[in-house]
Each structure stands twice: as C-alpha cells, then as structure tokens.
Amino acid sequence: MLKLITCEFWKLKRKRLFQYAFLTCFIIPVLYCVILKDKSLDNLMSVVREDNGMLLLTPLSVIIAANLFFEEHDYDTLKNLMCVPVSKGRLAIAKLSVILAFDVAYELAGYGIAMFLAVLLGTPTEGWISQLFLTAGAAVLIWAAAMPCICLVVWCNRSYIISVLIAFAYTVLGYLMRVSDTFIMVPLGPNPATFLPFPMITRWLYQYHSMEGAGGILLEFYKKLSPYFVPTPVIFAILLTEALLCVALMTVIYLRQSV
C-alpha cells in the first residue's frame, strides 16, 4: 500500500495542476495582511483554517481527486495496472490517502506563511503550538468534509468540467451553511445539522477564537454560539466516521466501474 501511495504522489507531483494548486495557500493570508488592520496571530490562523481551508482547499481537493481517479481512464492505463495485479480498491484508497497528505501539507504551509507574516509584522506569536495543532486538525476535518463531494464525482464519472462545477457548488453551499444560524446554532443530536461538515467545523473552530479586543457585535455572536460549540472528540468521531463510509462507498463504486 505504501508503494501505491508513493506512486500516486509522484504522479501528482509532476503535474502543473498540483504545483499551481499548492501555491494558492499564499493568496488569502497575504491579502488579509494587505487589506485588514487587525493582524493578530489568532486572526491570521483563522484565515488559514476557515477561508483558505474551506473556500480554496475543499474544491482543490475534489478537483485533484477527479484528476487522480480519471487519469487511468483518460490514458487507458487502468487495464495495465489490473494486470500487475493491483486491486482497484487499494488503488482508490491510495488516491484518497494522497489527497489527505495534500490537505495536511497545504494547511501546514498556510500556517508557515501566517507565522512568517506575523514575525515580519512584529505580531506576538504566543500560542503558536496550539495554533499548529488546530491547523493540522482542521486539515484532517476538511479532507473528511470533501469526501461526500469526491464520492459524488467518482459516482458521476464524468468530465473534469462537471467535476469542477460539482466541487464549487458543494463549496459554496457548505460555506453558506456555516454562516447561517439555521445550521450552526443547533444542539448536537439526531438532526441534519450534526452531520453537516462545514457548520460542524465552524462550531468546533470558533470556540478557540481569541475574544481579546473583540467588538460588541463579535462578543455577542460568540456568546450566542457558545452553547452549540462542538467538543474535539465528538467532531472527529462524527466527520471521520462519515469520511470512512464515503471511502467504503467510493471503493465499491470504483470497483464496479468498467475498466
């Protein structure tokens, strides 16, 4: 399995798509420093996890997954792989493992950029260790959040254009849900909001926001949302369970598709 993951990684690394996609981790933190006045470490890291992660990394994960899953069909090399033999199930898991590694690396690169900007601007960097763990955890959760969309793309088995449209529709819908009281101010339990990835990630991350120097409106929102914060073990249990179910379903779908 490790050799398969390594091979998939090297195939992806040679692609311009991968290189350009990875470079986008610079965009939002740098724009934030140029446009906004409050450049605290907490705000810089929030930009990396919430804006970079949810707005950019989610669709990128889906698009890269589509590239990995469709490549063998495009170049008619899947039959050769089946002759090695390599099972399609293990091949699918290897591809998804590469996406996970990409997501973690992307978010940690964003963390490094934010730290560099903080030092450059003379911003205090207390709490950098906890910010590192939060960013790494957010990367894993964003990977899990992308799994239903990747599953849909694999099931559709259509062109890259369709995959891109699905990815961006999923991202926009998820981002709108995470700012809606209807989906974030809901208690944990057997209800749809508990199983929606983006609102759940927001409810988990927001409890770690620093309220030092926050305005009245922000403090009021924090107090309003605080009863609905999600504990770390709970969100990882829910989203990783959903992700594993999607991985199992994707594997079955991939196995049944014609070679």
User: Domains of the chain: which residue ranges?
Assistant: 2-256
Contact 184, 228 (CB under 8 A): yes
As a residue count, the chain comes to 259
Stretches where the chain sits below pLDDT 50 are 80
pLDDT at 86: 63
Q: Which structure tokens are listed for 97?
A: 């493992």
Contacts for 10-19: CB closer than 8 Å, 24+ residues apart: 11/68, 11/71, 12/64, 12/67, 12/68, 12/98, 12/102, 15/67, 17/63, 17/64, 17/67, 18/64, 18/102
pLDDT of res. 154: 83
Distance CA 34, CA 250 (A): 42
Q: pLDDT tens digit string along 210-247?
A: 766 666 677 888 888 889 999 999 999 999 999 999 99
Confidence (pLDDT) at 85? 62
